[in-house]
Chains A and B, each alone.
Chain A
């Protein structure tokens, strides 16, 4: 079932004639686990413009990382399989491209930052080699020239005394510095799209802010589109222009960031907002969402959120709600989206 395919998209409002930087439409990914097909991503759609930040928000297992890897073209196939949808970069369809072409685009036009830089960087090569490799492979540079470029990059991400640190190995850096190296690697070739998968989750809170600032600066300097994948509403708040909330592989709600915070239209989003401390709601009780995220191999019938939903009614267990627009650029997959949206405005 592909409920979101024809639903309104989270549009960055590009003109009809001009293709958006990145357009993901109805993307579905399945995994084959013990002979059973498990749908990890179910009809995800969004667009991204230059210099824009779209946050994809969801709990672990919501399919947000899988979706990002599908866009990157680095899913392990098998067990994963893209079963539908399209990913277009400036109008060019990526999903059908031969692997050779896809590979040329990776790092060059779309690049990715991973959560745990310590395991995401190769432990046996120096950071200089790993940064320089981008230029050696994509630009055919000699090792020496590539190393000079690596120094430039390290300066760019504000790593102190880069010449001396070029020959160091990843484990010799602090967590924050390692993540800067990941970022440097990702922006090396000035890509059009930058995907950051939980870029700050493994870091201390104080370092988190610095890394987010750096990411935002890189986005502005290079005019890249930034896709920020996170489970943390706090991380999203300052940087995201628009937010896509995913639940159990599907879009639960998408909206401009301010709008989503002010007037959520899906009970899940509302629950998320109520469960984190906010400066503007000081003194209010924090309310956790009851229950646990569903097992993707055994999703409940109807709306996947209904067993945990305070607003659920009989229809929710039977019929899967389509994405319903509630305001310009704002839609939610809930049978009572209008009502929730209205209530949030009143409250």
Chain B
């Protein structure tokens, strides 16, 4: 097991470096003045431009620039916005909101997704199965911002089942509707994955053995088949938690939740480049970190992997 952990950790290092370097290179190594480019059409005062050039070490070679930026990032220093405000301070209070939203969406995916998947998987080819497949395809097809506005108008403004925007009602009330919207895509994948995986495992030899052992159907399905079926599902759920943190840009924007995503959303519209890059780099780091944890979890879930 420890060899597995060590190998996964070692494999993660180049990906960490590569991905962050990629973001950095794409933003700061593009032709033209990246500072002006980040600011878009907004006029930036000359002294600010110079400070920023200095701040981002744009006179150094790319790798050195990157190294210095990452070093700062690990010390919690994400640089400053055009108005001199520290990016880390702008983001600081927002992590809680994003985490609550992502967790709500994630719980929704986990509970409802697996439940729907099991329901469909046990009734393959029947009405329940067709309903789940059709419904999830529809959810995947409707872009999340369309879903978000529709849900906001229908359930928030017209039916008034949920607050339509803002975080004033706190968790859970303010987070339920955005959470469902944010989780809808993942929910669909979880349900479909669970369904296929369960249906496949129900035909496995060891399930036949479990029947032959005289176990009840609940135990055969719930313990033997489901435990194996959930291995890919748990992996997906883990990876998806990372995407939920990042995917919150659209949802937080629509529902006006003061999280990281909303800051990115606003900063994009205000062309505040340093904020966007800083927040996105952090979100990508979280995404990669969660992936790593999932990889390790995978080794624990599936004993066959550990001893490769």
A contacts, CB < 8 Å to B: 69, 72, 74, 103-108, 111-112, 114, 116, 119-125, 133-134, 137-138, 169, 171-172, 182, 185
Partner of B213, one of A106, A123, A169: A106
Interface residue? B206 (CB, 8 A): yes
**A122–B214 CA distance with the chains assembled, in angstroms:** 15
B contacts, CB < 8 Å to A: 204-206, 208-216, 219, 224, 227-228, 231, 301-304, 307
Most buried by B among A69, A105, A125, A182: A125
Q: Do residues B216 and A103 form an inter-chain contact, with CB atoms below 8 A?
A: yes
Q: Do residues A124 and B307 form an inter-chain contact, with CB atoms below 8 A?
A: no
Q: Do residues A119 and B206 form an inter-chain contact, with CB atoms below 8 A?
A: yes
The chain B residue with its CB closest to the CB of A74 is B211
Known pairs A119-B206, A121-B206, A122-B228; A169 contacts B304 (CB<8 A): yes
Q: Do residues B209 and A106 form an inter-chain contact, with CB atoms below 8 A?
A: no
Q: Do residues B212 and A74 form an inter-chain contact, with CB atoms below 8 A?
A: yes
**A138–B210 CA distance with the chains assembled, in angstroms:** 13
Known pairs A105-B214, A133-B213, A137-B215; A123 contacts B206 (CB<8 A): yes
Partner of B228, one of A103, A114, A124, A182: A124
Known pairs A106-B211, A134-B213; A124 contacts B302 (CB<8 A): yes
Most buried by B among A108, A121, A133: A133
Question: How near does chain A come to B185, taking the closest CB pair, in angstroms?
Answer: 28
Q: Do residues B304 and A104 form an inter-chain contact, with CB atoms below 8 A?
A: no
Q: Chain B residues near A116: list those with CB within 8 A.
A: 205
Q: Do residues B228 and A123 form an inter-chain contact, with CB atoms below 8 A?
A: yes
Question: How near does chain B come to A212, taking the closest CB pair, in angstroms?
Answer: 20
Q: Do residues A124 and B227 form an inter-chain contact, with CB atoms below 8 A?
A: yes
The chain A residue with its CB closest to the CB of B301 is A124
Q: Chain A residues near B210: list those with CB within 8 A.
A: 122
Q: Do residues A114 and B214 form an inter-chain contact, with CB atoms below 8 A?
A: no
The chain B residue with its CB closest to the CB of A186 is B212
Q: Chain B residues near A124: list those with CB within 8 A.
A: 227-228, 231, 301-303
- B contact face: mostly helix, strand, loop, or mixed: helix
**A116–B303 CA distance with the chains assembled, in angstroms:** 19
Q: Do residues A137 and B224 form an inter-chain contact, with CB atoms below 8 A?
A: no
Q: Do residues A108 and B214 form an inter-chain contact, with CB atoms below 8 A?
A: yes
**A72–B208 CA distance with the chains assembled, in angstroms:** 11
Q: Do residues B303 and A185 form an inter-chain contact, with CB atoms below 8 A?
A: no
Question: How near does chain A come to B224, taking the closest CB pair, in angstroms?
Answer: 5
Given known contacts A123-B302, A137-B216, what 15 new A-B pairs fall within 8 Å (CB)?
A: A106-B213, A107-B214, A108-B214, A116-B205, A119-B206, A120-B205, A120-B206, A123-B206, A124-B302, A125-B227, A137-B213, A137-B215, A138-B214, A169-B304, A171-B304
Partner of A123, one of B211, B216, B304: B304
The chain B residue with its CB closest to the CB of A118 is B205
Known pairs A169-B303, A171-B304; A103 contacts B214 (CB<8 A): yes
Q: Chain B residues near A122: list those with CB within 8 A.
A: 206, 209-210, 224, 227-228
Question: How near does chain A come to B55, taking the closest CB pair, in angstroms?
Answer: 52
Q: Do residues A137 and B219 form an inter-chain contact, with CB atoms below 8 A?
A: yes
Partner of B214, one of A120, A123, A137, A171: A137
Q: Chain A residues near B213: list those with CB within 8 A.
A: 106-107, 111, 133-134, 137, 185
**A266–B143 CA distance with the chains assembled, in angstroms:** 69
Q: Do residues B204 and A119 form an inter-chain contact, with CB atoms below 8 A?
A: yes
Q: Chain B residues near A119: list those with CB within 8 A.
A: 204-206
Q: Do residues A121 and B209 form an inter-chain contact, with CB atoms below 8 A?
A: yes
Question: How near does chain B come to A241, taking the closest CB pair, in angstroms?
Answer: 24
Question: How near does chain B come to A107, taking the closest CB pair, in angstroms?
Answer: 4
Partner of B303, one of A103, A120, A171, A182: A171
Q: Chain B residues near A72: list those with CB within 8 A.
A: 212
**A182–B302 CA distance with the chains assembled, in angstroms:** 21
Q: Chain B residues near A120: list those with CB within 8 A.
A: 205-206, 208-209
Most buried by B among A108, A116, A169: A169
Q: Chain A residues near B205: list those with CB within 8 A.
A: 114, 116, 119-120
**A43–B301 CA distance with the chains assembled, in angstroms:** 46
